[in-house]
Amino acid sequence: MNYTIRIKRQENPQASPCWQEFSFEGSADTSIASVLNELNHRSPLCEKSGTVVSPIAWECGCMIRKCGACAMRINGLPRLACSVFLRDCKGSVVTLEPLSKFPLVKDLVVDRSVIFEALKRTKLWLEGDAFQTSYTHSQRYRSAKCLLCGCCLEVCPNFDPNSEFAGAVLPVNAYRILNEEQDIAHQTELANAYRQLYFEGCGKSLACQDICPAGIPVEELMSRFNAAAVWKR
């Protein structure tokens, strides 16, 4: 089947964005990541109009939904390019754009360092030896599946990269640390940071849970964190 791959491109943050369209002939079982790889292997890479253009900038790592690097907007929704296939796109036109809530680097590449800075501000690390109990094994495992891809923040109506609100990545990752930390002072510090950087700003839309490519039960982990934080105070 013949597809039109429509990509929003921008050389750098100061440049004006533009749309470029490319033809792709292939199976509906082809992933978006494979489509981008195939386009960039063309020499030269030409638009449908025949104009020669530079290779498309995008990020990838594992190609098996483990790293989150290939997050982008696919037909308007934040998804992972490695786990979305042409058959999922409903039609012959596939539109690719960078995530809109992070600073643009180039084309489909954005700077998601705000995610990691928020986790550092929350001090998501262990100050003491880890304590683990079988009671929380399942929940801690699901917490560890977070890819830090940014899809949840892209759809969150409360997230703004210039605000303190850290979004769903905070309770998902903080749950695991809170349940392993034995240092009482750090437990309290973590609970207070959670309250300031997440709890007070969350509108509970749960769009984050619906879009999560790892299928993490954000609402359950958030509720369990709330209960654990109260118990540990």
Angstrom distance (rounded) from CA 124 to CA 210: 25
> Cβ of 63: how many Cβ atoms within 10 Å?
17
The encoded tokens of residue 144 equal 């560890």
The encoded tokens of residue 209 equal 């849970």
The phi and psi torsions of 25 (rounded to 5 degrees) equal -105, 120
Angstrom distance (rounded) from CA 37 to CA 15: 24
- Note if the pTM is more than 0.85: yes
pLDDT, position 165: 92
What are the distances in angstroms from CA 17 to CA 28, 150, 170? 29, 22, 32
pLDDT, position 228: 67
- Biggest CA-to-CA distance, the chain: 65
pLDDT, position 175: 84
User: Is there a cis peptide before residue 217, judged by omega within 30 degrees of 0?
Assistant: no
pLDDT tens track, the chain, 233 positions: 999 999 999 999 999 999 999 999 999 999 999 999 999 999 999 999 999 999 999 999 998 889 999 999 999 999 999 999 999 998 999 999 999 999 999 999 999 999 999 999 888 898 888 888 787 788 888 888 999 999 999 999 999 988 889 999 998 988 888 888 888 898 888 888 888 888 888 888 889 999 999 999 998 888 877 776 654 55
The phi and psi torsions of 79 (rounded to 5 degrees) equal -145, 170
Boundaries of every domain in the chain: 2-110, 112-230
pLDDT, position 133: 78
Q: Which of 214, 111, 218 is nearest to 167 (CA)?
A: 218
CATH of 112-230, one of 3.40.50.2300, 1.10.1060.10, 3.90.1580.10, 3.10.20.30: 1.10.1060.10
pLDDT, position 195: 86
pLDDT, position 230: 55
User: Residue 2, SS3?
Assistant: strand
**Which CATH class, in words, describes the domain spanning 2-110?**
alpha beta
